[in-house]
């Protein structure tokens, strides 16, 4: 009620990017106040539930609903997001060198479509700044992933060096890593999803992970690849084949879309990646295709258009082991996490499943 009746009307009267920074900076500052993270956890935290807990990639997830990349680009508020009920969280996308991103305005709300359009362009402070912030984390109740990308000025033939630098600089601080090659807002980035470029990139990423794991004396950390929703069926199949051959740990499906199908809001004409409800069906289709192609052997994190527990459950039944939200958090506030997790438990009970893992890929059986 606090969010929908008081905070959301204030935020939605503000410029979207200013509201974004206010939330992130507020969470970051609040986390430094003794006891405040505990208060936020009491207000919004999700109670432990054995039927929702998941073991994946050698990590424990208290429940399957996480925060997608793009909201906490610099790892400022990892403790805050750990306290408001998420089952895991991604920080980033981060690049080796800090960069300003694209010109403003670059973030747009489409309230009638329950969607957002962004063309941020990987604006972030760089790996060194993120490393300092993540090193100061005090709360480790959920896994935190680092989403990594390349600088805008780095040509694709050298992109692998940027991804390796991100891993090298941040290996100690992430529980797993996400290779972002699917943002539509960095020129030519999506070309890295295909053929030899993808093969070379993932080989370099894996080599760096192995190198850093060897230095740490521990098991190598998981790496996932985030793919776009806008590929043809043939392109998707070839990309998934290459990802499987690479030996990485999983796929995140999907990033934002360039499609504008079915939108009614005037901001639909803005360039950039679309997130929110209009992406729901397409991202679920991609999850279903990836699961079918891989025989369920490559774990999937489902992302795109989740607003209700049924939305999340549809992605899980299609093949996702975990799911992520972003736009729903903007429109519904942190209370959405209890709504989603309570609803998921109802879905499991309705279908006779004892644990969320039993529902993964159920539509294929």
Pick from 204, 262, 191: which is nearest to 230 by CA?
A: 191
Fold of 2-364: TIM Barrel (3.20.20)
Judged against a pLDDT cut of 70, whether residue 1 lies above it is answered with no
Question: 């505990």: which residue's tokens?
Answer: 38
User: pLDDT tens-digit profile of 60-76?
Assistant: 999 999 999 999 999 99
Give the pLDDT of residue 194.
Answer: 86
Buried b (16+ CB within 10 A) or exposed e, 13-41: eeebbebbeebbeebbebbeeeebbeebb
SS3 339: helix
Tell me the domain boundaries of the chain.
2-364
Among 321, 332, 283, 319, which residue's Cα sits nearest to residue 303? 283
Catalytic residue at 183? yes
Q: What is the residue whose two structure tokens read 């521990």?
A: 218
Is 0.85 topped by the overall pTM? Answer: yes
pLDDT tens-digit map of 88-126: 999 999 999 999 999 999 999 999 999 999 999 999 999
**Which entry of 83, 183, 249, 283 is annotated as an active-site residue?**
183
The alpha carbon of residue 91 and the mean position of all alpha carbons in its chain are separated, in whole angstroms, by 8
- Could you give the percent of the chain with pLDDT greater than 70? 100
H/E element, 209 = helix 195-216
DSSP string, 163-196: HHHHHHHHTTT-SEEEEE---TTSTTGGGGGSHH
């Amino acid at each position: 009620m606090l969010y929908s009746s008081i905070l959301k009307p204030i935020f939605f009267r503000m410029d979207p990017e200013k509201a974004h920074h206010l939330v992130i900076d507020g969470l970051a500052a609040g986390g430094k106040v003794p006891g405040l993270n505990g208060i936020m956890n009491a207000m919004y935290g999700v109670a432990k539930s054995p039927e929702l807990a998941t073991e994946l990639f050698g990590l424990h997830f208290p429940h399957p609903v996480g925060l997608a990349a793009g909201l906490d680009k610099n790892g400022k508020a990892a403790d805050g997001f750990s306290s408001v009920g998420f089952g895991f969280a991604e920080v980033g996308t981060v690049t080796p060198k800090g960069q300003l991103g694209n010109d403003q305005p670059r973030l747009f709300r489409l309230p009638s479509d329950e969607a957002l359009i962004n063309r941020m362009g990987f604006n972030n402070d760089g790996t060194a700044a993120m490393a300092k912030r993540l090193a100061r984390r005090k709360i480790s109740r959920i896994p935190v992933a680092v989403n990594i990308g390349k600088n805008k000025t780095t040509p694709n033939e050298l992109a692998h060096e940027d991804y390796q630098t991100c891993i090298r600089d941040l290996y100690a601080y992430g529980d797993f890593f996400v290779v972002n090659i699917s943002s539509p807002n960095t020129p030519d980035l999506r070309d890295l999803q295909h053929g030899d470029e993808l093969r070379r990139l993932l080989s370099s990423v894996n080599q760096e992970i192995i190198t850093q794991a060897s230095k740490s004396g521990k098991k190598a950390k998981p790496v996932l690849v985030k793919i776009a929703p806008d590929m043809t069926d043939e392109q998707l199949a070839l990309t998934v084949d290459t990802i499987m051959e690479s030996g990485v740990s999983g796929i995140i499906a999907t990033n934002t879309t360039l499609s504008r199908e079915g939108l009614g809001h005037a901001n639909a004409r803005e360039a950039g990646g679309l997130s929110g409800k209009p992406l729901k069906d397409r991202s679920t289709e991609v999850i279903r295709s990836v699961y079918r192609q891989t025989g369920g052997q490559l774990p999937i994190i489902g992302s795109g258009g989740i607003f209700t527990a049924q939305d999340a459950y549809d992605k899980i039944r299609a093949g996702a082991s975990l799911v992520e939200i972003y736009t729903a958090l903007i429109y519904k506030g942190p209370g959405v996490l209890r709504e989603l997790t309570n609803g998921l438990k109802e879905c499991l009970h309705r279908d006779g499943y004892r644990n969320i893992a039993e529902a993964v890929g159920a539509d294929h059986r």
